Amino acid sequence: MLVVLITGCSSGFGELTAIEFAKTGARVFASMRNPSAISDRLLTLADENPLFEVIPLDVCDRISVDAAVQHVLNQVGRIDVLINNAGIVLTDFVDDMPEDHFRQIMETNFFGPLLLTKAVLPTMVKQKFGVIVMLSSLSAMLGLSSDAAYSASKAALEKLAECLYCEHQKDGIQLKVIRPGAFNTALAANSIKNMVNQNGLVIELDVTKQPSFSSGDAPLFVAKEIVEIVKNKSPILFYSLGKQAQDIEIKVDETKQQERHLLLNEMCG
């Protein structure tokens, strides 16, 4: 039975991935910054499934990160899978976006996964087994107008994953980078609201600079794929999910990614 810790489960990919792992019989710890924001689906699942638990976890707070990891270890003594899903997005032109917004995005999308990964690594190294999943984006491959902060945070996350891939192959730890394309989630709206609530920031949105998330593939596809990728023992590091991400990868970086993977294996071997 896999023990799975997932961040950002109040909605979107995190919520759906938690549900899909629960269907496999895994011991699931679905975490979120504000557990009072739990969806009805997760509330019902937590009531009915003794192997499913919702816990508080703010990825930007080291005390919260350490407490969540220790709670899981106290309950079951191991962590097999970490899904670094929690993230925020806020779009604006570089010269218009306040520095505080850049820092908040980096804190959540890069330093959050870094803190949590460092917190679980000692356990995974001791176990000689573990899977760490980083939710990235096609924005890490292609920086577009008004997307600088988000693109930079996801590109940094991918480089972190590459380094971890090399450093911990000998320990039986797998790294998986998931690059979803356009999927119909509420990420943008939720992230903006969370930033206001957390930091007291007043954000005036220019709708001409905001991307549309109303179209795209169904997010359940990503959740199901993540479960399959975790179960698969393939050494592949990058996974582009959805038509948009795959099209971009083919046009921009397919050959380079294959060459990079071969080079990584050669240099890490």
H/E run at residue 82: strand 81-84
The span from the CA of 83 to the CA of 88, in Å, is 15
82: domain CATH number is 3.40.50.720
Kindly list the catalytic residues.
150
Whether 43 and 92 have beta carbons less than 8 Å apart is answered as no
Number of domains in the chain: 1
By the 8 A CB rule, do 160 and 110 touch? Answer: yes
Parts of the chain with a pLDDT under 70: 181-217, 242-261, 263-264, 267, 269
Say what the pLDDT of residue 144 is: 77
pTM: 0.83
- Which pLDDT does position 197 carry in this prediction? 41
In the prediction, which pLDDT does 240 show? 85
Structural domain harbouring 191: 3-268
